[in-house]
Amino acid sequence: MTTKREYRGVALWIVRDYLLKLGGTLVEKECVHGRGWKAIFYEGTPVMLGKLRYNTTHVDFEGDEASLKCLLAAFDLHMIRAGG
Radius of gyration of the chain (CA): 13
Q: What is the 3-state secondary structure (H, E, C) of the chain?
A: CEEEEEEECCCHHHHHHHHHHCCCEEEECCEEEECCEEEEEEECCCEEECCEEECEEEEEEEECHHHHHHHHHHHHHHCCCCCC
Q: Which domains does the chain have, with CATH numbers?
A: 2-62 (3.30.1370.80)
pTM, 2 dp: 0.89
pLDDT for 81 = 73
Residues 19, 10: contact at Cβ < 8 Å? no
pLDDT for 84 = 45
Residues 6-64 have pLDDT tens digits of 999 999 999 999 999 999 999 999 999 999 999 999 999 999 999 999 999 999 999 99
pLDDT for 83 = 54
